[in-house]
Amino acid sequence: MDAAAIGRAITRMAHEIAERNPDEIGLAVIGIHTHGVPLAQRLAGTLAGILKRDVPTGELDIAMHRDDIALRLAPVVGPSHIPFDVTGRIIVLVDDVLFTGRSIRAALDEITDFGRPKQIQLAVLVDRGHRELPIRPDFVGKNVPTALTERVAVRLTEVDGKDEVVMER
Amino acid sequence: MKPNWQHKDLLGIQDLTADEIVCLLDAAQAFKQVGERAVKKVPSLRGKTIVNLFIEPSTRTRTSFELAAKRLSADVINITATASSLVKGETLKDTALNLQALHADMIVIRHSAAGAPHFLARFLKASVINAGDGAHEHPTQALLDAFTIREKKGRIAGLNVTILGDILYSRVARSNIWLLTKLGAHVTLAGPSTLVPRVFEQFGCRVTHDMEEAIRDADVINLLRIQHERQRKTMFPSIGEYAAMYGLNRDRFSRTKPDALIMHPGPINRGVEIDSDVADCGRSVILEQVTNGLAVRMAVLFLCSGGKHELTAD
C-alpha cells in the first residue's frame, strides 16, 4: 500500500465507524503503541469531520500486559495515556497489523483496567491472518494473506517519515 | 527499540552504564502511570514468586518492594531476621538455597553486610535485588532520587546536587554519588569532617565542611539521616550541636536557590537534619520520593524478570 491507499483505507474505515455508531456521543479512539497511535489520531480526525464533533483519542502501551515476558528480554515499556474516562463509552481500539491477536488480548485487558467501556470495537489497517486467539476485527483497511515467515511492515509519516505498507521476508 | 536492560540482578549502581540507568528511569515513568488507573495492578509478573529477605530491619523499603511486587501481580513472601532460621544458625547461603528450592523467582535482600547480595547472586539462579547492603549500596533509593530530580528539573546532567549529612555510613550516599556522576551531575558532599572525609573526592565529588558553600549553588539538596545504629559515638559531640551546625533550618533554607529541591530518603528526624517548616514546605519532595520509589521498584522487578533470549519481535 502506498500513502494514497493508506489514506483511502483510513477514510473508508472512518465512514464505517461513523455508520455503525451514528448517535454515539461517547465514541473515543485508542491507538496501540507504536503505530496504532498515529493511526488512531488520523481516524479520529476524519471521524470528527464526518460526525461534526471532537472524538477524543488515547494511547495504550501494552508492554506490561504481554504474556511472553519469560520468553524474551523485558521489553521497553512506555506510559499509556488515556485522557478521558473509558467507562460507558464506545471505544474503537486501533492497531496497524492484526496477526496472532495476542497484542489485542493484552490491550483489552489493559483498557478494562482503566474502567468499563460500553463496547470495544477493533479497527486495523492490515489483517494478515494466523490468529492464535478468538479475536476478529470490526473494521479492516486491507486483508493481506501471508505466510507465517513473512513480515508486514507498516510505516507511517509520524514515526518513520513516510507512509507505506510492504511485505518483507 | 532494543531493550537496554539485560541483567537478571540489580546489585548496585556502580556497575551500571548511563544508558542502563536511563532505561530503568524510563520504565519507571511508565509504571508510575499505573498508580493513577482505576485498577492499580498489571499482570506482568503473574505466577512469579518474590521473596523479601530483610535481614536488617526496614519498614519503608520493604513495604515499597512488597507493594511493587503486588502491583505486578507477583506473589510475595516477607522474611525478617528474627523470624527466620538464621537465628537457629542457618547460613545466609542455605536460607537462600532453600528459598530457591521453593521456586522463588526473585530474592530482594537487605543485609547489614556489604556484598551480601553479590554473594547470593554468584550461586542463585533466581534474580537478586539489592535493597541495601551495609554501608555499600542502596540502588533503588538512588534510582528513585534520580527519577524525582529528573521529573522536577527535567534533567540531571549539569545540575548541582548537594548531599548533606552522614556520608561515611550511608549506602544511599554511595549509590547516589555513582548514579549522579554517571549522568553528569556535579555532586557536593557536606557535613562534619568526621562523617564526610576528604577521601570521598576520589568518587569525583566536591567535599566541603562549610554549610554556606554547600547550599549556595545547589539545585538539589539531599539530606541524609544520622545513622545512629551504624555509628560510633565519637563522630560529633551531640545531636543538638549537629542540628545547630549542619541542620537545614529556616535561616539556612532562606539562603538556598529559590528553586532548590529539598529531598530526604526518610525516615526524617525533624529538628535534627531538617526543620519541620522546611520538611513540609512546597519545595520539599520527600513524599513524592516515596511515591516514585514504588514506580522505580516496579520497573526494577519487571526488567530483571525478563527472559534471557529474545525470540521474535511480535
The DSSP-derived string for B87-156 is GGT--HHHHHHHHHHTT-SEEEEEESSTTHHHHHHHH-SSEEEEEEETTTB-HHHHHHHHHHHHHHHS--
Burial code of A104-126, b = ≥16 C-beta within 10 A, e = fewer?
bbbbbbbbebbbebeebbbbbbb
pLDDT at B312: 36
Half-sphere exposure of A4 (CA within 13 A, CB side): 0
Work out the pLDDT band at B311, boundaries 50, 70, 90.
very low
Rounded CA separation A166/A129 (Å): 16
CB contact under 8 A, A75 and B38: no
Query: CB of A159 within 8 A of CB of A167?
Result: no
Phi/psi of residue B147, nearest 5 degrees:
-60, -45
Work out the pLDDT band at B308, boundaries 50, 70, 90.
low
CB contact under 8 A, A74 and B303: yes
Rounded CA separation B217/A41 (Å): 45
Three cell numbers, residue B221: 539538596
Query: Measured in whole angstroms, how far is the alpha carbon of residue A73 from the centre of its chain?
Result: 25
Element counts in chain B: helices (H) and strands (E) = 11, 9
Residue B313 scores a pLDDT above 60: no
Q: Is A92 exposed, middle or buried (0-12, 13-18, 19+ CB in 10 A)?
A: buried
Average confidence (pLDDT) over B121-127: 95
Residue-level pLDDT, tens digit, chain A, 169 residues: 999 999 999 999 999 999 999 888 899 999 999 999 999 999 999 999 999 999 999 999 998 888 777 677 777 888 899 999 999 999 999 999 999 999 999 999 999 999 999 999 999 999 999 999 999 999 999 999 999 999 999 999 999 999 999 998 7
Rounded CA separation A106/A96 (Å): 15
Three-class secondary structure of residue B50 per DSSP: strand
Angle, helix B286-304 to helix B18-34, in steps of 10 degrees: 110
A7 to chain B, any CB pair closer than 8 A? The answer is no
CB contact under 8 A, A74 and B314: no
pLDDT at B232: 60
- DSSP assignment letter at B308: S
* 3-state helix/strand/coil string of chain A: CCHHHHHHHHHHHHHHHHHHCCCCCCEEEEEECCCHHHHHHHHHHHHHHHHCCCCCEEEECCHHHCCCHHHCCCCCCCCCECCCCCCCCEEEEEEEEECCCHHHHHHHHHHHHHCCCCEEEEEEEEECCCCCCCCCCCEEEEECCCCCCCEEEEECHHHHCCCEEEEEC
Q: What tens digit of pLDDT does each residue of B69-121 get?
A: 999 999 999 998 777 777 788 899 999 999 999 999 999 999 999 999 999 99
Phi/psi of residue B298, nearest 5 degrees:
-60, -45
- Shortest Cα distance, chain B CAs vs residue A135, angstroms: 16
Helix (H) or strand (E) holding B164: strand B160-164
Closest CB to A74 among B3, B37, B43? B3
Asked whether the bond before A157 is cis by omega within 30 degrees of 0, the reply is no
Contacts of A73 in chain B (CB under 8 A): 3, 5-6, 306-310
Rounded CA separation A165/A154 (Å): 5
Rounded CA separation B150/A133 (Å): 41
Q: What tens digit of pLDDT does each residue of B201-236 get?
A: 999 999 999 999 999 999 999 999 887 766 666 778
The residue among B10, B25, B37, B300 with the most chain A CBs within 10 A of its CB, best to mutate, is B37
Contacts of B304 in chain A (CB under 8 A): 74
Closest CB to A114 among B23, B38, B309? B38
Q: Which residue matches cell numbers 551504624?
A: B230
How many residue pairs from chains A and B have C-beta atoms closer than 8 A?
87
Q: What is the CA radius of gyration of chain B?
A: 20
Q: How many CB atoms lie within 10 A of CB B73?
A: 15
Residue B173 scores a pLDDT above 70: yes
pLDDT at B229: 66
Three-class secondary structure of residue B10 per DSSP: strand
Average confidence (pLDDT) over B125-144: 97
Phi/psi of residue A157, nearest 5 degrees:
-50, -45
Helix (H) or strand (E) holding B238: none
pLDDT at B314: 37
Work out the pLDDT band at B310, boundaries 50, 70, 90.
very low
Residue B307 scores a pLDDT above 80: no
Rounded CA separation A129/B175 (Å): 50
Q: How many CB atoms lie within 10 A of CB A48?
A: 17
Residue B183 scores a pLDDT above 80: yes
Closest CB to A65 among B4, B6, B43? B43
- DSSP assignment letter at B79: E
Three cell numbers, residue B35: 498508580
Q: What is the CA radius of gyration of chain A?
A: 15
B207 to chain A, any CB pair closer than 8 A? The answer is no
Q: For chain A, what's the residue count? A: 169
pTM: 0.88
Q: Which residues are paired to B251 by β-bridges?
A: none
